[in-house]
Amino acid sequence: MMNRRQLIQSIALGTAGVAISDKSFANMEQDMFEPLALKGNINHSVASWTYNFLPLDEMCAMVKKIGFSAIDLLAPKDWPTVQKNGIYCSMCYTAGKISLTEGWNNKDNHAWLIKDFEEAIPLVAKAGYKNLICFSGNRKGMDDKVGMDNCAEGLKKIMSLAEKNGVIIQMELFNSKVDHKDYMCDKSAWGVELCKKIGSPNFKLLYDIYHMQINEGDVIRTIRDHHEYFGHYHTAGVPGRHEIDETQELQYPAIMKAIVATGYKGYVAQEFMPSSKDNKEKIAALKKAIRLCDV
């Protein structure tokens, strides 16, 4: 399975394709899809790229059969498919260039980023969605304060439009130790300071639990202390970015309880890469993860 960076690169090159399973979703045993009786305290989602062995229509069917109703990280071209299937897009991409390494910390990127976001924000609102992802970009020798100032300068130029349309711009926190070497927004404190600098309720952080466990740990305390700046959450197991079960170090039920205790009403998206090569087991792992996080 491609990681997210590889998938984005393949999309940019026009070579991305769906890895069709040897046994399609429609033909899998139906008894494994008895819907979960969810408690309603957590709004569940799944990152599209982690289950892209299924065509999007079948991914929508899988989501509904498990018992939730949202998919993360979809571009405008994907929205008609999820809308047709009654599935919500809990985190949107712009329709333009998507880069995890070339972001708002470099003023040379501001012209195309502002254009892409000014086009995307009204589209997100018109589709009935709320969250639009963005990235700091890599340091490439740049001082963190300079990068923060550059991010704030560029992002402030789109915030009035985001506020007018009720769209939340969300910068994702990545780890720079393992997966995203040199990425600038790699500490929650840096991201929180950027939120304060921008000073808009429509700019928040996508707090990726997996990434922040690797880079800084202390996940529950961070959520309790800074939850007002976190607009979205991602999960995955540490180490390895696989299932969030007993094979890894994070206690996800405790983390979910901490999130619920803050009064959070947004989405928590599963973004782990299933370790099994068997597609039925991959889907069973997602169902198990949703159940585990449903506190």
- Determine, yes or no, domain membership for 272: yes
Interior/surface letters 72-88, b for 16+ CB within 10 angstroms, e for the rest: bbbbbebbebbeebebb
- Determine, yes or no, domain membership for 73: yes
Q: Give the per-residue pLDDT at 22.
A: 42
- Determine, yes or no, domain membership for 13: no
Instruction: Dump pLDDT digits (tens) for 223-234.
Output: 999 999 999 999
CB contact at 8 A, 254 and 292: no
- Determine, yes or no, domain membership for 66: yes
The DSSP string of 101-145 is SS-TTSGGGHHHHHHHHHHHHHHHHHTT--EEEE---B-TT--HH
- Determine, yes or no, domain membership for 2: no
Q: What angle do CA 151, 101, 144 make, to 5 degrees?
A: 45
| From 1-5, 115-119, 215-219, the region with the lowest mean pLDDT | 1-5
Q: Cα–Cα distances in Å, from 55 out to 19, 52, 290?
A: 8, 7, 21
Instruction: Dump pLDDT digits (tens) for 96-147.
Output: 999 999 999 999 999 999 999 999 999 999 999 999 999 999 999 999 999 9
- Determine, yes or no, domain membership for 5: no
What one-character DSSP code corresponds to residue 202? T
Q: Give the per-residue pLDDT at 17.
A: 46
Domains identified in the chain, total number: 1
When pLDDT is averaged across residues 157-179 and rounded to a whole number, the result is 98
Give this prediction's pTM: 0.91
- Determine, yes or no, domain membership for 267: yes
Instruction: Dump pLDDT digits (tens) for 133-165.
Output: 999 999 999 999 999 999 999 999 999 999 999
CATH of the domain at 136: 3.20.20.150
Residues paired with residue 232 on neighbouring β-strands, in sequence order: 206
Query: What is the pLDDT confidence band of residue 2, given thresholds at 50, 70 and 90?
Result: low
Q: Give the per-residue pLDDT at 23.
A: 46
CB contact at 8 A, 253 and 219: no
When pLDDT is averaged across residues 22-48 and rounded to a whole number, the result is 76
Instruction: Dump pLDDT digits (tens) for 240-293.
Output: 999 999 999 999 999 999 999 999 999 999 999 999 999 999 999 999 999 999
Say whether pLDDT at 19 is over 50.
Answer: no
- Determine, yes or no, domain membership for 3: no
Q: How far apart are CA 295 and CA 291, in angstroms?
A: 8
Say whether pLDDT at 182 is over 70.
Answer: yes
Give the residue numbers spanning the domain of 154: 20-293
